[in-house]
Amino acid sequence: VRTKKLESPALSRDTVVTRALELADAEGLDAVTVRRLAQEFGVTPMALYWHFGNKEELLDAMGDALFDALPPHAYTGPWHERLRKLLDDLAAALRRHPSSAELAYRRIMACRRGQDITEAALAALADAGFPSREAAFVACQALMTVVSLVANLPGAQPGLTDDERDQHLSVKRAAIAQLPPDHYAHVISAAPYLINCEDPDEYFAFSLDLLVAGTQAMRQRVAAAG
Amino acid sequence: VRTKKLESPALSRDTVVTRALELADAEGLDAVTVRRLAQEFGVTPMALYWHFGNKEELLDAMGDALFDALPPHAYTGPWHERLRKLLDDLAAALRRHPSSAELAYRRIMACRRGQDITEAALAALADAGFPSREAAFVACQALMTVVSLVANLPGAQPGLTDDERDQHLSVKRAAIAQLPPDHYAHVISAAPYLINCEDPDEYFAFSLDLLVAGTQAMRQRVAAAG
DNA sequence: ACCTGAACACCGTTCAAGT
DNA sequence: ACCTGAACACCGTTCAAGT
């Protein structure tokens, strides 16, 4: 109908991708559907197939768009500070659209800014003394870690009411509370932190520190072995 | 028809889960469908709803089944050796069904063997001196890492012919080859390792070493701060 | 160049009914 | 207790046709 056309911008690759990311933010990635997007634009589902070859191409374009939020500046300083800063930037970019973060994994080498940040990471690791193979291993794990951290951060699944989320947490709490305390002492005392993450920023900082610290340690080993 | 009944075992939670894992191995997790499974058992789709409340419950049961492959023995030795061994065991269990590995993430605290290995990990980290909060952080990242390593290991996506996979690799190779060599020197020299993983065991060993080394480094920091 | 209409082969799921 | 039949509201996609 008319009202849809007034609310929505013209159909194009960019407007569809933008709306798709918003939709994923609001209702989860599963809500991103060719038919649903068409409806949002007041258009026939097949209209989207003029702008995208198929749905996979749309998801790829969403993944590419995530990297657009990366700052364009270059990285300077000691290699581990550069690596750390770059991981923070990547995490910040992906956290703008947590439900779509998983799409970034297979697109990093397919878009400009993804290639740039990969080059920056590999350059830092080369400066650290890693041979290209080990540098590639570390870079892969770093990307994987950042994507997983963002995608799996609790509370990242939308489409649930607050009540449903609270109920979900209660179920998990109850399951742990029922464990025999002598066999599961550590699980029980860590329960509050396993069930929910009340400070995502701190969790991110710790996790990325762990990753960089591990990289620093592996650097010594690779140097010692080589 | 009759032939189906002769080929397939009786319908039950266990037989459905087993067949679902096989199906995912052969054709990917997306091929695991209520209707497809029903067809494999020569049964109506709705027959599955007697054994599972809904599809999510089926996927959860698949996730639980992954942990059944964990060895029952306890872990002994220094904390970092225990942690390392336990990560290897978890990786080995998940690698039996790579396409289903992602299901493990949300089920670890919901099944017996998952709780056991979590307790073992937290116990090792407690022995290392981590407070429960930091121990939980490390344990979460460890699980996330192992699941992601298995799920994202290249060549893990079935349902493709060898030709299609080769073609896919060629496209990626060509994309990197076209980059300006002065701006992307490190990407270009790391290209063979970024495009494909020719030795998964080595990649796993390196990645888990990195994780454990990072944990050892963070232990010093937490101790220094506390 | 950009979009529609009709159709096809799929999904998960409900609900009443059968044995 | 365990399964079927019919139906519903969804998917992605093709292909010919419109403007």
pLDDT tens digit sequence for A182-203: 999 999 999 999 998 889 999 9
Whether the CB-CB separation of A32 and A24 falls below 8 Å is answered with yes
Spell out where B101-219 has E strands.
Answer: none
Q: One-letter amino acid identity for A191?
A: A
Nearest residue for C6, CA–C1': A46
Burial class of residue A77, CB neighbours in 10 A (0-12, 13-18, 19+)? exposed
Q: Where residue A178 falls among pLDDT bands split at 50, 70, 90?
A: very high
Instruction: Give the Cα separation of B37 and B46 in Å (integer).
Output: 11
CA distances (Å), origin B148, targets B36, B95, B99, B154: 27, 11, 11, 11
pLDDT value, residue A73: 87
Q: Which two tokens stand for residue B129?
A: 């001196």
Chain B residues touching residue A145 (CB < 8 angstroms): 141, 144-145, 148
B25-38 pLDDT per residue, tens: 999 999 999 999 99
pLDDT value, residue A163: 78
Of residues A4 and A23, the one with the higher pLDDT is A23
Q: Which two tokens stand for residue A20?
A: 């798709």
Give the mean pLDDT of chain A: 94
Q: Report the share of chain B in percent with pLDDT over 90.
A: 84
Q: One-letter amino acid identity for B112?
A: R
Q: Which of B126, B176, B210 comes nearest A214 by C-beta?
A: B210
Instruction: Give the Cα separation of A193 and A121 in Å (integer).
Output: 31
Count of residues in chain A: 226
Q: Where residue A168 falls among pLDDT bands split at 50, 70, 90?
A: confident
Q: Where residue B224 falls among pLDDT bands split at 50, 70, 90?
A: confident
The 3 state secondary structure assigned to A134-153 is HHHHHHHHHHHHHHHHHHHC
Whether the CB-CB separation of B119 and B74 falls below 8 Å is answered with no
Structure-token match 């060509």, residue found:
B174
Instruction: Give the Cα separation of B226 and B218 in Å (integer).
Output: 12
Please name the residues in contact with A160: beta carbons below 8 A apart, sequence gap of 6 or more. A168
A45 Cα to chain B: minimum distance (Å): 22
Element (H, E) at A112: helix A112-128
Chain B residues touching residue A183 (CB < 8 angstroms): 119
Of residues B46 and A2, the one with the higher pLDDT is B46
A35: nearest nucleotide, CA–C1' criterion: D11
A148 Cα to chain B: minimum distance (Å): 7
A95-99, A158-162, B163-167: segment of lowest average pLDDT: A158-162
A48 CB contact with strand C at below 7 Å:
no
The 3-state DSSP class for residue A159 equals coil
Instruction: Give the Cα separation of B108 and B86 in Å (integer).
Output: 14
A155: left (phi over 0), alpha (psi -120 to 50) or beta: left
Phi and psi angles of residue B137, each rounded to the nearest 5 degrees, phi first: -55, -50
From the CA of A61 to the C1' of D13: give the distance in Å: 19
Chain B residues touching residue A148 (CB < 8 angstroms): 144-145, 147-148
pLDDT value, residue A3: 42
Q: Please, what is the angle between helix A185-195 and helix B112-128, to 10°?
A: 100
From the CA of B138 to the C1' of D2: give the distance in Å: 46
Structure-token match 């080990």, residue found:
A134
Judge: A210–B105 Cβ closer than 8 Å, yes or no.
Answer: no
pLDDT value, residue A1: 33
Instruction: Give the Cα separation of A157 and A177 in Å (integer).
Output: 24
Q: Report the share of chain A in percent with pLDDT over 70.
A: 96
A105-135 pLDDT per residue, tens: 999 999 999 999 999 999 999 999 999 999 9
Q: Please, what is the angle between helix B200-225 and helix B112-128, to 10°?
A: 50
Instruction: Give the Cα separation of B125 and B164 in Å (integer).
Output: 44
**Residue B156: pLDDT over 50:** yes
B33: nearest nucleotide, CA–C1' criterion: C11
CA distances (Å), origin B99, targets A67, B27, B28, B32: 26, 9, 6, 11
Q: Which two tokens stand for residue A163?
A: 């009540």
Q: Quick one: DSSP state of residue A43?
A: S
Q: Which of A119, A133, A218 comes nearest B184 by C-beta?
A: A119
Judge: A211–B214 Cβ closer than 8 Å, yes or no.
Answer: yes
Whether the CB-CB separation of B103 and B145 falls below 8 Å is answered with no
**Residue A155: pLDDT over 80:** no
- The separation between CA A45 and the C-alpha centre of its own chain, rounded to angstroms, equals 28
Query: How much is the average pLDDT of B163-173?
Result: 87
Burial class of residue B24, CB neighbours in 10 A (0-12, 13-18, 19+)? buried
**Residue B1: pLDDT over 70:** no
Residue of B nearest to A123 (CA): B186
Whether the CB-CB separation of A214 and B210 falls below 8 Å is answered with yes
A144 Cα to chain B: minimum distance (Å): 7
From the CA of B47 to the C1' of D2: give the distance in Å: 8
Q: One-letter amino acid identity for A219?
A: R
B184-211 pLDDT per residue, tens: 999 999 999 999 888 999 999 999 999 9
Q: Quick one: DSSP state of residue B78?
A: S
pLDDT value, residue B225: 77
Q: Quick one: DSSP state of residue A29?
A: G
- Radius of gyration of chain B from Cα atoms? 21
pLDDT value, residue B125: 98
**Residue B3: pLDDT over 60:** no
pLDDT value, residue B226: 65
A53-62, B99-108, B165-174: segment of lowest average pLDDT: B165-174
pTM for this structure?
A: 0.95
pLDDT value, residue A167: 85
B134 Cα to chain A: minimum distance (Å): 8
**Residue A160: pLDDT over 90:** no
**Residue A142: pLDDT over 70:** yes
pLDDT value, residue B6: 52
Query: How much is the average pLDDT of B100-119?
Result: 97
